[in-house]
């Protein structure tokens, strides 16, 4: 199933992914696809989002060498990024609950 992501949702998911530890762009995309079981993360959205969040100071870049000796750009959550994650997950849950209440209403 292909799902269109609401504005800003990708950023929240990226923040969540990085809460486990620093990761490079490819790993982030793969983790979200695997965990969601349904979503496709497009490179055309992922990388601009990463760079935007870096410029806002939510993420910190870090060049590392991978297991197979390749230089890769890892992203790490900053304290500001962690704060954003908390705020955004909260508002997401709130949104889901509210939309659920409306859609599952049984009387007018």
Partner 1 sequence: MTEPPTQAAWRRYLRFWRTDARADVDDELAFHLEQRVRDLEATGMSRAAACDEAARRIGDVSALKNVCVQIDESGMRRREREEWRDALRMDVRTALRQLARSPVVTAVSILTLALGIGANTAIFNIVYAVLLRPLPYANADRLAVVAETQRDLRTGVGPGQFTEWVARNRVFESLSAESGATFNLSGVGFAQRVTGAMVTPSKFRTLVMPPAAGRYFVDEEATPGREHVVVLSYALFTQQFGGDAGIVGRTISLSETPYVVVGVAPPDYAPESYGEQLWVPLALTAQHKTKFNEHWLLVYGKLKPGVSLAAAQRDMERVTREIAALQPAAMIDRSVRVVGIREDLAGDYERQLGVLFGAAALILLLACSNIAGLILARLTTRRREIAVRLALGAGRARVVRLLLTESVVLAAMGGVASLAVASGATTLLLRIAPASVPRLDQADVGAATLPFVIVATLVAGLVLGIFPALRSTRGDVQQALRESGRTSSAAGPRDHARSALVVGEIALALVLMTGAVLFVRSARNLADIDPGFDPTGLRSVRVSLAGSRYQSPAQIASGITRLLASVSALLHARAVAATTGLPMGNGVPDVQLHIAGREFPPGQEPAANFLGVSPTYFETMRIPIVRGRALTANDRAGAPPVVVINEELAHRLWPNESPLGKRFYCCGDDSVHVWREIVGVSRNVRHWLTARPFDEIYVPYEQAPAASWVWFSNTVTLVMRTERSDAILPMRLRTAIAAVDPSLPLFEQFSYDDLWRRSTSTNRFAMQLFSAFAALALTLAAIGIYGVLAYLVSHRTQEIAVRMALGATRPQVFALILRQGGALAAGGIFIGIAIAVVASRALQQLLYGIEPTDPITYAIAGFALAAVALAACYVPARRAASVEPYSALRG
Which residues here bind partner 1, judged by CB under 8 A? 24-27, 30, 42-44, 47-48, 51-52, 54-55, 70-73
C-alpha distances (whole Å) from 84 to each of 5, 40, 43, 60, 69 are: 18, 23, 22, 14, 33
Among residues 7, 5, 19, the alpha carbon closest in space to that of 59 is found at 19
Q: How far is the CB of 104 from partner 1 (least distance, A)?
A: 36
Q: How far is the CB of 83 from partner 1 (least distance, A)?
A: 19
Q: How far is the CB of 55 from partner 1 (least distance, A)?
A: 3
């Amino acid at each position: 199933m292909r799902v269109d992501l609401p504005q800003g949702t990708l950023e929240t998911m990226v923040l969540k992914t990085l809460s486990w530890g620093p990761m490079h762009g490819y790993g982030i995309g793969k983790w979200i696809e695997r965990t969601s079981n349904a979503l496709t993360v497009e490179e055309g959205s992922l990388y601009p989002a990463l760079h935007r969040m870096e410029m806002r100071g939510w993420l910190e870049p870090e060049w590392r060498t991978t297991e197979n000796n390749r230089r890769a750009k890892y992203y790490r959550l900053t304290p500001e990024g962690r704060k954003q994650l908390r705020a955004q997950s909260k508002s997401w849950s709130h949104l889901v609950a509210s939309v659920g209440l409306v859609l599952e209403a049984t009387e007018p």
